[in-house]
Each structure stands twice: as structure tokens, then as C-alpha cells.
Structure 1
Amino acid sequence: MGLRRHDGPRRVLVVDDDEGVRTSVTWALEADGFAVESVQDGVSAIERIESSPPSLVVLDLSLPGIGGLDILRRVREREQRNDAFPLPIIVLSGRDGETDRIVGLDLGADDYLVKPFSPGELAARARSVLRRCGDHGGGSPDRFVPRGVDVEVDVESREVWLDGEPVTLAAKEFELLLYFVDHPRRACTRDELLAAVWSSGEGWQTPATVTEHVYRLRQKLEDDPGRPKRLTTVRAVGYRWEG
């Protein structure tokens, strides 16, 4: 097992149909150390978010086709279905009405800026939102990530590969796997895993929660889930990642 470290910048997706806004926002964020990609319509935004989730989205409300509020709604509904970490989203709007602001925040926006705004202020808001949200969208750039011979885990993009093929994991499945590979060959108890991955205990969730998620991981990562070789059971204790 080797180690792979990610020192790359956090990725921001800018969604705005105004080229001037996209350019000024991109310059400000890149100057602040972010890696920026921009798109001009809702369909492209959804495709980028679903195919390669960024650390943060800067989202204009007035877009051709699928509007910003619809994108926001779709993203939050998909996260709920998949038990995923909320993607940090800053909403931009040319409308300063209180109703639009309330609707955007009620749908799950993490911050709201009214045009015209200072690109420097947006960069500061981006840093603040990522700190507040724990930067789940892009992972921690200072973290070492174990890389197995056949299982690879990329904390920055939140992607997993098995024998070079991508594996789709729900948010808690990914967090559980990451904890295991961060602690190879260690017998982890269910109570430990509840506390570390769910920030919870038996008063809120039972060890069966861990058991169910381990079952799901084995279905996706084991050649024979009934006879696991990567994620094994330690009798009367819990589970161990063999690495």
C-alpha cells in the first residue's frame, strides 16, 4: 500500500450566462488560490456537478433553460436521496427582493450575493462558506490518502476505483471506507465507527447502521461479498480493512 497526497487547489464551478461576470469571478477566485471552471447554462451546470462535484458552486439565478433555483432544488433533493454531504452553493442574483433571498436560502443556498458585487467580497464569502461547511466538497488538501493495490481512494474528488474501474458510493459509504483505509489492519468497533463517521452513538443510531453500510461496501468492493477479503469481520469486535 502506498500513500498519495493531494495538494491541489479547491475547485469552484461558476454558473452564469454573463461572460463578463464569469470572467471577473474567475479572476478573483483564481487569484485567491481556487481552481475555477465556468459554464453558462443550467444543463451544463448539472452535468458538471453530477459527473465531478466541485468544492463549491457559485450559481446565478437567472439562467437560460434550467434556472438557478431549479438547479439548487435538484442538487439538494439528490443529496437527500443519496445521503450525501451538502455541496456548498453561493447564489448570485440581479434581484435584491427579499422574497428571492428567502427562497434561495430556504432551498439550501449557503450564501446569497446581489449583483453588482465586489469579486473580492465573493472570494471572501467563498472562503467563509467552505470553512463553515467543512470543505466536504473537495476534501482536505493536506490529508494523506492510502492507496491500495486494487482499491484507490481519492479524497479530493471523492472518487473510488476498484481494479481501475470507478465505484459509485453514497456519502456515508465513502466516509466509512475512508476511515477504514486511514486505519489499515486495525480492528474497529461499531461504536468507534458510529462516533467517527456518523458523529453519533447508540443513543441516536444503533450498531446496525454500521453493519448495513459495511454490507453495502462489501457488495461494491468484494469479489465474493459473502467471503470478504478486503473488509473482514473481527469476531466479537467489529471490522478490519486488510489493505
Structure 2
Amino acid sequence: MIDQTNPFHILLIEDDDAVAQSLQDGLEREGFTVAWEPTGHEGIQYAREHNPHLIILDIRLPDGSGVDFCRQMRQLKLHQPILMLTVQRDEIDKVLGLEMGADDYMTKPYSLRELLSRLRALLRRAYGELSTINGGDILYVADLVLDRASGQVWRGNDLVNLTPIEFRLLTYFAQNRGQALSRRQILDAVWGYSAEVESDRTVNVHIRRLREKVEPDPDQPSIILTVPGIGYRFAG
């Protein structure tokens, strides 16, 4: 699950412990959430389960070539940007990586500053204005990104199709995370002037539909929790 206090979730697939730890520390200092896997197979499994925003993939791994793993990711419909790392100066590695679906590459050794510049360019290209970090229009909810300016919600590369009411509900919960909210509070905040003609059952129905779209398991909610006798609480 993505840490909601950090905007972008990066998967690093690198078998060199020292290189991986240094890169992970540097990226986390810049505000990224970073997961590290030492092999290609573990990296693919992680990417399928957690859908990170971007993948940094070493071309030389103990269980195979990063080029082959890059191809496998694309075949599995993992569409997030892939930045490949190589110690080889031979153009063949770079060309193969790009042909197999990589978006960019860097040759070791590299500076963190240059790497950050490449990453941010890839994120802007992939997610547009979602890569502009600001506290007003972007909210991070578990592994979701809410763009209040456009009224859109994203999970990784996938747009989550919410109705306007569902979007306002999710935004209201995100702005009041941790608080137990009564159905009347929710009605007043989300429906506003029309709250007088709405009912508690309306809130329940819309929250059930919202859970079906945003919860990993709608039958066992982990994001929007029921508070008996009160209403709901957003865990996020």
C-alpha cells in the first residue's frame, strides 16, 4: 500500500545491496515512497500486486536480464514508466531495453540529481498534472491519487470512475481522515442544500457503491470503516 503522505510510489529492482540502499535513501529524502526488490521475478510480482507509479530496473539481475523482465512486464499489461540502469556502455543494451518497452535508461555511475531529473520527466509525461505536487488540488488516499481540480481519481495508471457524489464523498473523507463522521455531517457536507430531502439510507447506499470502487475487498473495508452508532470513519 502506498504511504498517503508521499505522492509517488517507485519500485526499485536492483541486486546490489549498497547501490539499492543508497538510491532508496536518496529518493525517500526527496519525498518518494520506494520499494526495493533484489530479483526480476520478485520485482514483477511486487509490480503486479502493488502497481507502483514508476519502475527502476537494473539490466543485470541474478535471475535474468532486465531486458527480458521489461518485456514480461509489458506483456502483463504493466504500463507504468520503466527506467533501466546499466553498467554497460554498449549501445546494444540500451537499444534492446527501449525496444522491449523501457521508457528511458541511465548508465552507471550516475548522479542522484540527474536520476531525479529523469524520473520527474517520466512522471510528468505519464501522469501530467498529477506530477505537480501541491497541497491544494492533490490528495493521497491509501494507494489512490485524488485530483480535485479535474475531479479525477487514479490508482497507479488506472482511472477510477467515480460519480460526482462519490468523488465528493471520497474527498470529504480524505479531508477528515481519522474522525468519526455522522451520517448527518456527511449529508450536510456532501449534499449541502439538498440534505433536507436526503436520508441516512442515501449515505449508506452511496458509501456501499464507493467501497465497491476503492476498497481492495469491499466486503471487509479497510479504507472507509463503519463506526457503530455514529456513522463512518476514514482510515485511508
TM-score normalised per structure 2 = 0.56
Question: 1:186-197 counterparts in 2 under 5 A?
Answer: none
Partner of 1:189: none
- Residue 49 of structure 1: how far off its partner (Å): 0.3
Aligned partners of 2:68, 2:124: CA distance in 1, in Å? 26
Q: Which residue of 2 aligns with 1:204?
A: none
Residue 33 of structure 1 aligns to a residue whose secondary structure is coil
Question: 2:98 aligned with 1:105, yes or no?
Answer: yes
Q: Which runs of 4+ in 1 moved over 6 A?
A: 135-141
Per the TM alignment, residue 155 of structure 1 is displaced from its structure 2 partner at its CA by 2.1
* Inter-CA distance 139–182: structure 2 relative to 1 (3 Å threshold): farther
One of 151, 155, 158 as aligned partner of 2:144: 155
Residue 131 of structure 1 is matched in structure 2 by 124
Instruction: Supply the distance in 1 between the matched residues of 2:70 and 2:28 (Cα, whole angstroms).
Output: 24
CA distance in 2, matches of 1:39, 1:136: 29
| Greater relative contact order structure (CA < 8 Å, 6+ sep) | 1
Aligned counterpart, 1:211: none
Identity %: 31
Asked whether 1:52 is paired with 2:50, we answer: yes
Aligned positions of 1:8-27 closer than 5 A? 8-27=6-25
Provide structure 1 residue ranges, at least 5 long, that are not aligned to the other structure: 1-5, 147-152, 158-168, 185-217, 223-243
> Deviation per CA, 1:105-158, whole angstroms, max 9, x where unpaired?
122211100111112211221111111111699998844589xxxxxx95249x
Gaps of 5+ in 2: 147-154, 170-208, 214-236
Whether the aligned pair in 1 keeps the contact of 2:123 and 2:131 (CA below 8 Å) is: no
* Structure 1 residues 39 and 183: CA distance shift in structure 2, 3 A: same
The two structures, once aligned, show a CA RMSD in angstroms of 3.6
Q: Is structure 2 residue 18 aligned with structure 1 residue 32?
A: no
2:16–2:38 Cα contact (<8 Å) kept: yes
Query: 1:180: how far off?
Result: 8.0
Give 1:177 deviation, angstroms: 4.3
SS at match of 1:58: strand
Residue 76 of structure 2: SS of its match in structure 1?
helix
- Which of 67, 73, 76 is matched with 2:74 structurally? 76
| TM-score normalised per structure 1 | 0.55
